[in-house]
A and B are shown apart, each in its own frame.
Chain A
Amino acid sequence: MIEVKGLVKTYGAKRAVDGISFEVRRGDILGFLGPNGAGKSTTMKMITGFLRPDAGQALVDGIDVVADPVAVKRKLGYLPESAPSYPEMTVEEFLGFIAEVRGFRATDARRAQVDRAIALTHLAPVRRQTIETLSKGYRQRVGFAQALLHDPPALVLDEPTDGLDPNQKNEVRTLIKGMAAQKAVILSTHILEEVEAICTRVIIISRGRVVADETPAQLQARQPGARLDAIFRSLTQSDL
């Protein structure tokens, strides 16, 4: 569903992403791990068509994101880091706007999509509140609702559980797990237990390169008995 081939992105003298390749199929939940600044967000921004890669290719459902960005954006749901939204709008207005841009122009169709997204992310109690008055957890869910709104075949989630309390984290994980059967999901995270809990595959990147691409069980098998964060540390040591 999502295919990444040799992506490269350079900022000035720094090579943020240095030839990353991987593939995500339907039913996969890919955990994207790495220290801060390793290139996780940059890679996701290139897949979603926000940044143009300097070299390499990102394909979603066989469509090259550089060749036809709008077609790729139709198939993707994207939750950017820190879930940006328009603070002066209410939850309903904001999701209504997203639905309209996503092509649900008729009032009924739009309302159906908005209601579905609100139900999925449990936003009903705050649907008429402006986003600036919401807590961090609710804002994150608004971002999540926005990404899910058009029921996309592929989801790219940049730190979806960042800033949430343990209950909310658990809820988001359950939600992702529940949808994953028909979708290809990439999620970036710092939390290693999250990877164990929901991911079917793990990619660890360090200094813009893939240093591990395997199942959580295989990752654990590298150092049997060790904690995952110890394995993570030894793999990303070059970043220190």
Chain B
Amino acid sequence: MSQTFPIFKREFLGYFRSPVAYVFLVVFLVASVGLAFFLSGFYKANVASMESYFFWHPWLFLFLVPAAGMRLWSEERRSGTIELLFTLPVTTLEGVMGKFLAAWAFLTLAILLSFPLPLTLAYLGDPDWGVIANSYLGSILMAGAYLAVCSFMSALTKNQVVSFVLSVLVCFVLSLLGFSVFTDFLSGYLHLPVFLVDVISNFGFTTHFDAFSKGIIDPKDVMFFLSLMGFSLFLNVVVLER
């Protein structure tokens, strides 16, 4: 995996060589903090917690992670640089990991740039740092899982719009699976047995993210996000080698 690092470095710095990074960071911060302030009443709740900030993350990621991930491979395909990259002494896995980790590090940066929020909480009250740290961890893991799906989708096409739409669609289904509206529909209208509904809802993003935002690190949830990443990236490699 020694070749992953130069690719990671090029890709990560590449975000800052174009306006993409700055536009994305500003939009992400305005949207995530704005939702917490104006829709969830960050101050009005009068509680020293970041729940109102993290609550929106699954829905925010649904659009913003595909926006960051749509160009990963489709851009390389369209411009022909994929031929350059894969005639350098690099394996497909090293290429996929380098680009994925760079994009994930970029998303992590976007999430961590909300740091004035917890600092404000510490100034105004006495927040539970364990819960906040956990929520950040959960959010970063969830962003990685969304991103791995987007990376796979972008390898399927050279058109970034197609890549974006496919990514939103797949991520939407994955977020929806855990929702009560959806599970009620499965058990109420389709009369699926309860164990099957449970299995399906277990694949939902929100189900696994909720535990983190309550301050619980369940190895099952960590494994869910990591294995989803692993599986998507494996498919990503397979598609590129085809």
Contact = CB atoms under 8 A, between A and B. Distances in A.
Contacts of A89: 10, 14, 17
Given A86-B10, A86-B14, A101 B83 contact: no
Contacts of A50: 83, 86-87
A38 B148 CA distance: 39
B18 A88 contact: yes
Contacts of A84: 79-81, 83-84
Nearest to B80: A84
A58 B110 CA distance: 46
Contact of A88 (B14, B86, B89): B14
Contacts of A70: 89-91
Contacts of A88: 14, 17-18
Nearest to B15: A88
B7 to A, nearest CB: 7
Interface string B98-116: 0000000000000000000
Interface in A81-132: 82, 84-89, 97-98, 100-103, 130
Interface in A151-189: none
A136 interface: no
A140 interface: no
A49 B88 contact: no
A233 interface: no
A2 interface: no
B80 A82 contact: yes
B209 to A, nearest CB: 34
Interface size class of B (residues with CB under 8 A): 10 to 19
B120 interface: no
A146 B79 CA distance: 17
B6 interface: yes
Contacts of B3: 101
Contacts of B7: 101
A98 B88 contact: yes
Nearest to A156: B87
B161 to A, nearest CB: 20
Interface string A26-45: 00000000000000000001
A76 B84 CA distance: 12
B87 A76 contact: yes
A215 B81 CA distance: 34
A146 B84 CA distance: 10
B87 A102 contact: no
A48 B88 CA distance: 9
A74 B89 contact: yes
Interface in B2-35: 3, 6-7, 9-10, 14, 17-18
A49 B87 contact: yes
A190 interface: no
Among B79, B81, B83, find the residue whose CB has the most chain A CB atoms closer than 10 A. Answer: B83
Contacts of A78: 87
Contacts of B10: 86, 89, 97
Given A73-B89, A88-B17, A102-B88, A97 B83 contact: no
Interface string A52-71: 00000000000000000111
Contacts of B81: 84-86
B14 A80 contact: no
Contact of B87 (A48, A86, A87, A97): A48
Interface of A: 45, 48-50, 69-71, 73-74, 76, 78, 80, 82, 84-89, 97-98, 100-103, 130, 146
Given A50-B87, A73-B87, A85-B81, 6 more contacts: A50-B83, A80-B80, A84-B84, A97-B9, A97-B10, A98-B88
Interface of B: 3, 6-7, 9-10, 14, 17-18, 79-81, 83-84, 86-91
| 4 cross-chain pairs, A with B, having the tightest CB-CB distances, nearest first | A84-B80, A100-B6, A73-B89, A88-B17
